[in-house]
Structure 1
Amino acid sequence: MTDGAEAAGGGSSGSSASGAAGVRASPQSGTRRLAGRLGAVVGLMPPGDGAREAEPGLTPSVRVRASQQAPSVAARGTSHPSPQARAAPVRARGRPPAGVFAGARRKRTASPSAAGGAGDESAQAVRGRRGVDYEVVSTRRGPGTWGAVLFLVLLAVVAWVAGSRAYRWVSEQLDPPGEPAGEIVLTLPLGSSTASISDLLAERGVVPSSRAYEWYVRIKGGPAFQAGEYTFQANSSVWETLAVLEAGPSRIAQADQQSLTIPEGWTVAQMADLFDQAQDLSFSGTEFRAAVRERAVLSLVAPAPSVLPAGVIDPAEGQLFADTYFVDSQTTAEQLVALMTDRLDAVLTELGYDEAPRRVGLTPYEALIVASMIEREAQRPEDRARVSRVIYNRLSQGWSLGLDATVVYAVGTSELTAELLAVDSPYNTRVLTGLPPTPIAAPGRASLEAALNPADGPWMYFVLTDADGTLSFSETDEQFQRDKALCQARGLCG
């Protein structure tokens, strides 16, 4: 209800100016006039004869001047306002209906065509201010929490369906639906790698996906198969196929084959020299080195060469497994490199090198570096785990490893002088702390096991004390000096 409207037009003229309300009056019947006044009383429409009904959803809010002719608000059961209160704006208490957006403001001004210049007079009454200010308040209710819950449920359903389909697809690549049926006889040539075997198996329908087979073998490991003739079944799972390979060939491929034995502890350069000297090989040592360099990363555990520091001698060092391989006149250098790398990854997987961070606090590649140092330092099997323990004890204490084998790898000779022992190289563990940047040789299986399973002991030193390769281990420098004197007395060290 806007006080002051009745005083402005409550006479018998029948055309209330209603300037404060800003609503033009028009002649109405008595019934309409009475309804209009009643509406003004309850705050539903502005007062005045013939005043129009308040617009649905709009609440009139009128600023008026205090006037002696204005009716007292006591008519509505409230106390008389103070002069300051009468000068303050009075807002209607009508509540707008639901469905009106918040923040919108709609204004209506007095009509200048009202009888007797009512529009001008009402404008003067409010000192030139605009008429009715309609403040719109939103009461619409949105989807709210239920909409959010429904969205999350739908999202979860979509994710579950997508995940189920992806899992089903991967499962079918490893184990196709249906039973194996029909025999397929394949001859796996000498020097076959995991990649070439997977392509052949998928092409002949033994397994559904060559990529799935290859990655399963690289992650889980596979048997060291022998070249020859195998009988598979069509539509087989990856593990059924691996079981056939592990059982061995029904007929061994013998034609024109020769064995190549790579000694444990050899470097890539030594392997290349061996291939240059071997007879009836289809590739040379130079071609072997080129095949090694063509592959940016050999083993699955190795970093990219680009992240290795300056001074690295050969990024591929230690990634070619030392073993006996059978090749023929058709075997290429690329095939042999792939076969040697696959064999290393299979052994690392079997030994659990993925658990190296938990077991020894190193990455799988760093554990491979440790294994290469064990290979070059320990000559007897019983000394490998203790050499491993000395390396880990020194690393944990922040000591330099002080291993001659790493210096020998850096300078290329075992005749070490005082000058060579001080060589500026990332492989000089007498000067630098921590591990060398790469392995220094191809470790065998025993050294790989020792790197993950060091013996328990407080040793910080070891030195050769017997010509048969026996190493003496000590905890203190005093004990080490006694062992070193024995080594020198027997002519085993300088």
Structure 2
Amino acid sequence: MRHVRALLLALSLLALVVSCGSYVLLGELRATPSTTVEPVEFVVAPGETANDIASRLSAAGLIRQPMLFRILVRWRGLDQQIQAGRYVLSPTMTMSEILMVLQSGKVVDDIQITIPEGLRLEEIATIIAAAGLVSEAEFLEVARDGDRFRDDYFLLNSLPSGATLEGYLFPDTYRFAPSADAETIVRKLLDRFVEQYSTIERSVRVPGVTVHQIVTMASIIQREAVLLSEMPKISAVFWNRLKPQFAPTFGGGLLGADATVQYALGYDPVEGTWWQRELTVEELAIQSPYNTRVTPGLPPGPIAAPGLAALTAAAQPDESSPYLFFVASCERDGSHKFATTIEEFRIYEAEWLACQ
């Protein structure tokens, strides 16, 4: 009889423990980590496990007990039911509610934008604003503050104090959450620049140049070249013009790139473009540190966003090229004719003018 009473007592205690445990478990399932309603974007990667998802949900402040989340997923047999994608969750949601959303596949639609090579900051701002992300003014306020990012990006070490991020926002196709702010957008473009520049930083053939000088030269090449195959040769022309031994032949250290004059002139309301096609004699002589027809050396900074081909050409010019001049070809395929002397240049120039 005594054994029976002990057994009944043990069963009662076990039932009490189970009941309390169930109550606590139910309480945790119904609990929310916070009362804040601030939405949190959460991305589930393809093939990501429930364990990884639980850990990241906890780190994001969306659940309190990652182990309980894992148990809930397995108990409900949902290991394979969570859909990859970008979601908007809230710390006010329960675990069950979060699981329902992650199963639904109702992801947030990203906004895709494409930034072509050779655009200046204002043109990039227009693309971003047209996509419905942030306004042109918001984007430009951040993108023109290079000092804001210097400590986080070592490739900005040679960026002059007070300079903008002109040339450093890499042209590519991107996807952004609709809620992305200007700094998030700028950092993503900067991250891509760092990623791409890292592929060439160990193979720079131009002695004694900084990253800023390479990016500046690349931006000019991007605006002047049409064919990717000609970029290393056009790069050689511009670097040759800056060498002291060629100063007597070409303008005493002048780069002489019309694209830099276009940049200095800015927006033309008549043509409705930032890049005037026809430049007058007066415009070619304007006083500006960006006018490389009157100011020796490289301009103070980039004039546009160069792509990887232009960056590579700036860092690795065609070392076998002795040229100092190039003129558009009458083939009209974007190609150029290259010359080493002013006499040869004038012949090619006359040919070009004759075929207009």
Q: TM-score range by the shorter chain?
A: 0.5 to 0.7
Report what 2:122 is aligned to.
269
Pairing partner for 2:263 from 405, 409, 412: 409
Please say if 1:184 is aligned against 2:48: no
> CA, structure 1 residues 186+261, in 2 after alignment: closer, same or farther (shift >3 Å)?
farther
Please say if 1:352 is aligned against 2:217: no
CA displacement at 1:346 relative to structure 2: 1.4
Please say if 1:378 is aligned against 2:225: yes
Pairing partner for 2:144 from 278, 281, 293: 293
Give the letter aligned to residue 393 of structure 1.
Answer: N
In the aligned structure 1, how far is the partner of 2:121 from the partner of 2:201? 25
> CA, structure 1 residues 295+457, in 2 after alignment: closer, same or farther (shift >3 Å)?
closer
CA displacement at 1:303 relative to structure 2: 5.1
Pairing partner for 2:295 from 432, 436, 444: 432
TM-score calculated relative to the size of structure 1: 0.46
In the aligned structure 2, how far is the partner of 1:481 from the partner of 1:264? 31
Report what 1:119 is aligned to.
none
Report what 1:457 is aligned to.
321
Deviations 1:116-140 (A, max 9, x none): xxxxxxxxxxxxxxxxxxxxxxxxx
In the aligned structure 2, how far is the partner of 1:395 from the partner of 1:253? 57
CA displacement at 1:360 relative to structure 2: 3.7
In the aligned structure 2, how far is the partner of 1:302 from the partner of 1:487? 41
Deviations 1:260-288 (A, max 9, x none): 0001000000111222322xx24211111
In the aligned structure 2, how far is the partner of 1:256 from the partner of 1:291? 25
Contact (CA 8 Å) 2:327, 2:349: kept in 1 or not? yes
Equivalent residue of 1:271, what SS?
helix
Contact (CA 8 Å) 1:297, 1:305: kept in 2 or not? no
In the aligned structure 1, how far is the partner of 2:110 from the partner of 2:117? 22
Pairing partner for 1:326 from 165, 175, 182: 175
Deviations 1:70-89 (A, max 9, x none): xxxxxxxxxxxxxxxxxxxx
Give the letter aligned to residue 434 of structure 1.
Answer: G
CA displacement at 1:411 relative to structure 2: 0.6
Pairing partner for 1:395 from 227, 233, 242: 242
Give the letter aligned to residue 334 of structure 2.
Answer: G
Contact (CA 8 Å) 1:187, 1:228: kept in 2 or not? no
> CA, structure 1 residues 352+328, in 2 after alignment: closer, same or farther (shift >3 Å)?
same
Taking CA–CA contacts closer than 8 Å with sequence separation of 6 or more, which of the two structures ends up with the larger relative contact order?
2
Provide structure 1 residue ranges, at least 5 long, that are not aligned to the other structure. 1-181, 189-198, 205-226, 230-251, 309-313
CA displacement at 1:468 relative to structure 2: 1.9
Map 1:133-152 onto structure 2 (within 5 A): none
Contact (CA 8 Å) 2:112, 2:175: kept in 1 or not? yes
Of the structure 1 ranges 264-273 and 406-415, higher mean CA displacement relative to structure 2 is found in 406-415
Report what 1:86 is aligned to.
none
CA displacement at 1:327 relative to structure 2: 1.4
Report what 1:109 is aligned to.
none
Equivalent residue of 2:170, what SS?
coil
Provide structure 2 residue ranges, at least 5 long, that are not aligned to the other structure. 1-49, 65-83, 87-104, 248-252, 267-275
Give the letter aligned to residue 322 of structure 2.
Answer: P
In the aligned structure 2, how far is the partner of 1:304 from the partner of 1:390? 24
Contact (CA 8 Å) 1:297, 1:304: kept in 2 or not? no
Report what 1:257 is aligned to.
110
Of structures 1 and 2, the larger Rg is shown by: 1
In the aligned structure 2, how far is the partner of 1:364 from the partner of 1:326? 27
In the aligned structure 2, how far is the partner of 1:389 from the partner of 1:186? 55
In the aligned structure 1, how far is the partner of 2:106 from the partner of 2:299? 42
Identity of paired residues, percent? 36
CA displacement at 1:306 relative to structure 2: 6.0
Report what 1:476 is aligned to.
341
CA displacement at 1:304 relative to structure 2: 7.3
> CA, structure 1 residues 256+403, in 2 after alignment: closer, same or farther (shift >3 Å)?
same
Report what 1:341 is aligned to.
190
Deviations 1:430-467 (A, max 9, x none): 11211001001000011111111111211011111232
Give the letter aligned to residue 300 of structure 2.
Answer: P
Deviations 1:28-62 (A, max 9, x none): xxxxxxxxxxxxxxxxxxxxxxxxxxxxxxxxxxx
Contact (CA 8 Å) 1:459, 1:473: kept in 2 or not? yes
In the aligned structure 2, how far is the partner of 1:332 from the partner of 1:447? 29
CA displacement at 1:305 relative to structure 2: 6.7
Deviations 1:377-402 (A, max 9, x none): 00101110000111111111342111
Equivalent residue of 2:327, what SS?
strand
> CA, structure 1 residues 475+306, in 2 after alignment: closer, same or farther (shift >3 Å)?
closer
> CA, structure 1 residues 362+382, in 2 after alignment: closer, same or farther (shift >3 Å)?
same
Higher helix share: 2
Report what 1:136 is aligned to.
none
Give the letter aligned to residue 185 of structure 1.
Answer: I
Map 1:35-54 onto structure 2 (within 5 A): none
Contact (CA 8 Å) 2:289, 2:295: kept in 1 or not? yes
Give the letter aligned to residue 352 of structure 1.
Answer: E
Deviations 1:164-192 (A, max 9, x none): xxxxxxxxxxxxxxxxxx9423899xxxx
Contact (CA 8 Å) 2:146, 2:164: kept in 1 or not? no
